[in-house]
Structure 1
Amino acid sequence: MPVSGTIEESTAQTAHATPESPSADVLRPHAEQTFAAELAALAAADDRPRPVNWRLSPWAVSLYLLGGTLPDGTVITPKYVGPRRIVEVAVTTLATDRALLLLGVPGTAKTWVSEHLAAAVSGNSTLLVQGTAGTPEEAIRYGWNYARLLAHGPSREALVPSPVMRAMRDGTTARVEELTRIPADVQDTLITILSEKTLPVPELGEEVQAVRGFNLIATANDRDRGVNELSSALRRRFNTVVLPLPATADAEVDIVSRRVDQLGRSLDLPAVPEGVEEIRRVVTVFRELREGVSADGRTKLKSPSGTLSTAEAISVVTGGLALAAHFGDGVLRPGDVAAGILGAVVRDPAADRVIWQEYLETVVRERDGWKDFYRACREAGV
């Protein structure tokens, strides 16, 4: 039978309400906290139809992710730089009864997009299941307070709802990260949830029925194919949206610059504009090695074993800014990013080091204006 209001009351204390404004000491606020002013401005200006329990209309959610300017002059910063249609399809999926699977190689902003979609749709991105090889079934369904369970047996008071159960009850968005890392038998606990929109609790002879507005966003890594493949039954419950790598170097430089600037402000690091030249160099190196050809198309290259994703470029540049801030003059220079690039490229010490040395000698050494970068990379590899 459907769960009564009593079980809702018994789990209310463990449910995640919309996060409050973060303390100034919080290292990484949630999306709905960081961009609260933008979300509020969008809600005030949004006069389009909203699905039940959505904070914004699909149009406003797309604007929040892609960026733009509201009629009152409020600037909405882009959260995702990529094809507009991808965002529109993802948002539209969440307005239907199908769950959303964001698929792509590592570093294509799957988690970032997932978080911002949940923040814009539900005002809460914290209903999260992190997928690993050890994720148990309880993380998706529900668990138990074992002290109460042993003392009084199965009861509503002893039940500990999962993030998915809370999202079903409240009509909000749940998130599952790295779905293909989760064991197959645990993955399949989602089938009934996504098809029947119910979560049985056989120990109590009850079930939780999803409230309108509930949906689920999952992410999966292209490189994890064959680890824990999704069953055909589960895959049919998702609408899959593939997030591509940035189409151009300029787009990737823009993404890296924006994210590094956001991270840098929270870490009190130097401003990004002074290091744009080095950011472009890092992006160029990653793209050339990733694509197996130099930017001018003249030199074919071997690709290393690592993914050399946009996320890794952000990490390299952020680390370089920290070096510049604490051990330099605050300006990002080749020596600040060289070691980070080496660490990102050379994952297999035997094969990748040869690939990196060939790239340095055949491409970097001959490139105008890259002499300092070449020397820094050579020194880092000694």
Structure 2
Amino acid sequence: MEALRKQDDKPRPANWQLSPWAVVTYILGGKLDDGTEIEPKYFGSRKLVEIAVSTLVTDRALLLIGIPGTAKTWLSEHLAAAICGDSTLLIQGTAGLAEEAIRYGWNYARLLAEGPSEKAIVASPVMKAMEEGKITRVEELTRIPSDVQDSLITVLSEKTLPIPELNQEVQAQRGFNVIATANDRDKGVNELSSALRRRFNTVVMPLPATLE
């Protein structure tokens, strides 16, 4: 990635460490002008990767959807790493996930001692990404209960996260976005509401054409 950064003279969106061209090259591989070979991270459709990157450039959230084995997680991890240098701001979707995992929680010892304050807040990956202008990854979005899923709507549409206890809100820094993955054929899936689905550009991940 360092070699790509040095060779990358194309415009970069706010808080991106690489240009869109360099992100696509990092994912799919290629040869740089200085002869450096970039190994491919994903063996699949170039058009699919370009659509995914273009979606994130336009500030729209990205939903990678497909059955297991279609490299959804792999691609989302490498997209986040290439764009903001951090793929660790992750929410793992489960049927028992609470809204606090997407919004914020509280340090209850401090909350009881001092009352609601910024210091008592335990930031979620979404809140951290908003504050730092980075990408949050949400794995298995459709495993999350529907009412918890919908807590993303304001975050994605308004780029804000209200904190009513403090009469404040977190405003997302430029560069903030969400990459979610989902398996819509699995049992126990919670369908996305139409309001939430509209906030995402959906890219369907195909199975590899061959084992090679």
Does the TM-score normalized on the shorter chain lie above 0.5?
A: yes
TM-score by length of 2: 0.98
Match of 2:71 in 1: 109
Q: Deviations over 1:53-100 (max 9, x none)?
A: 000000000000001111112111111111100000000111112100
**For structure 1, which runs of at least 5 residues remain unmatched after alignment?**
1-38, 254-382
| Counterparts of 1:226 and 1:148, CA distance in 2 | 37
- Give yes or no for the alignment of 1:73 onto 2:35: yes
Match of 2:181 in 1: 219
- Give yes or no for the alignment of 1:244 onto 2:212: no
**For structure 2, which runs of at least 5 residues remain unmatched after alignment?**
none
The structure in which a higher percent of residues are helix is: 1
Q: How does 1:175-254 map to 2 (within 5 A)?
A: 175-224=137-186, 227-247=189-209, 249=210, 252-253=211-212
- Give yes or no for the alignment of 1:100 onto 2:56: no
| Counterparts of 2:104 and 2:187, CA distance in 1 | 28
**Number of residues paired by the alignment?**
212
| Counterparts of 1:227 and 1:120, CA distance in 2 | 30
Q: How does 1:1-382 map to 2 (within 5 A)?
A: 39-224=1-186, 227-247=189-209, 249=210, 252-253=211-212
- Which one has a bigger Cα radius of gyration? 1
Structure 2 residue matching 1:244: 3-state secondary structure:
coil
| Counterparts of 2:17 and 2:186, CA distance in 1 | 34
The structure in which a higher percent of residues are strand is: 2
Q: Which amino acid aligns with 2:87?
A: S
Q: Which amino acid aligns with 1:135?
A: L
Higher relative contact order (CA 8 A, sep 6+): 2
Q: Is the 8 A contact 1:106 1:223 kept in 2?
A: no
| Counterparts of 1:44 and 1:134, CA distance in 2 | 44
Structure 2 residue matching 1:223: 3-state secondary structure:
coil
Q: Give the % identical residues.
A: 74
